[in-house]
Chain A
Amino acid sequence: NAGVMQNPRHLVRRRGQEARLRCSPMKGHSHVYWYRQLPEEGLKFMVYLQKENIIDESGMPKERFSAEFPKEGPSILRIQQVVRGDSAAYFCASSPLERYTGELFFGEGSRLTVL
């Protein structure tokens, strides 16, 4: 049973370019979360999505960041016009249920470096 799959694992972008990070949840999971981790910090919640719906985007920066989880295919976190401060590890997690009753299953992360 494959876990949460994220790609790319490493991404390098120049300032002003776009970054697209993809996440395929565990089989049977329809709830996806994106978290961001800056160096030497804990993870910070960004957004919670269900299929075709954004449920909670309270942790997303107001500009340049967007997320989707289409009916078919992986969830996408998109960062437009990247800046150096966007350099971080971005983790996706999935859950089979809406209600939190235990663990979230995290992927290995996508590490974005902005030059």
Chain B
Amino acid sequence: GESVGLHLPTLSVQEGDNSIINCAYSNSASDYFIWYKQESGKGPQFIIDIRSNMDKRQGQRVTVLLNKTVKHLSLQIAATQPGDSAVYFCAENPGGTSYGKLTFGQGTILTVHP
């Protein structure tokens, strides 16, 4: 989906489909990129991260792709399940600090229909 005004981008999928959530970043000096999942009323939960010297990393049912040329990050979720419904945030660890001072993106709402 496309974002309009202050509304978050949304993605609706059927259970069992694959989901792709995209994120554009601006800081070419960032050395870590992270995906978080946030369920309603809860704190962000780490999903997967990738270092800037990699272009792909796989976890359990998730894959993160990093394209530094166009400053684009994506999260692929295989066989999406209703429990995957949440807001997904990309975050980056900007260069210049070595600690956990992260810059978060706007977020994408993923809704999985049974």
Q: How far is the CB of B73 from chain A (nearest CB, A)?
A: 14
Count residues on chain A whose CB falls below 8 Å from chain B CBs: 27
Contacts of A82 in B (CB 8 A): none
Cβ-defined contact, B100 with A108, below 8 A? no
Q: Hey, what's the 0/1 contact readout for A90-104 against B, CB within 8 Å counting as 1?
A: 010101001110111
Chain A residues closer than 8 Å to B42, beta-carbon distance = 108-109
Q: Chain B: how many interface residues by the 8 Å CB criterion?
A: 27
B101 and A45 contacting across the interface, CB-CB below 8 Å: yes
Smallest beta-carbon distance B23→chain A, Å: 10
Interface residues of A in 9-45 (CB under 8 A from B): 31, 33, 35, 40-45
Residue A48 is within 8 A (CB to CB) of chain B in the complex: yes
List 6 additional A-B contacts (Cβ < 8 Å) besides A42-B107, A102-B46, A106-B44.
A42-B89, A48-B99, A55-B99, A56-B101, A100-B99, A106-B45
What CA separation (Å) do A106 and B102 show in the bound complex?
12
Distance in angstroms between the alpha carbons of A109 and B43 in the assembled complex: 6
Which 6 A-B pairs give the minimum distances between C-beta atoms?
A42-B104, A103-B46, A106-B43, A43-B104, A100-B100, A104-B100
Chain B residues within an 8 Å CB radius of A107: 43
The answer to whether B99 and A91 have CB atoms under 8 Å apart is no
**Nearest B residue to A91 by beta-carbon distance?**
B43
23 contacts between A and B (CB under 8 A): A31-B99, A40-B7, A40-B8, A40-B107, A41-B107, A42-B91, A42-B105, A42-B107, A43-B44, A55-B99, A56-B97, A56-B99, A91-B43, A93-B100, A99-B98, A100-B99, A102-B49, A103-B34, A103-B46, A104-B46, A106-B43, A106-B45, A108-B42
Q: Give the distance in Å from the alpha carbon of A8 to the alpha carbon of B40 in the complex.
A: 17
State how many angstroms separate the Cβ of B49 from the closest Cβ of chain A. Answer: 6
B103 proximal to A (CB < 8 A): yes
Check A33 against B104 for contact (C-beta < 8 Å): no
In the complex, how many angstroms separate the beta carbon of A8 from the nearest chain B beta carbon?
A: 14
B8 in contact with A103 (CB, 8 Å): no
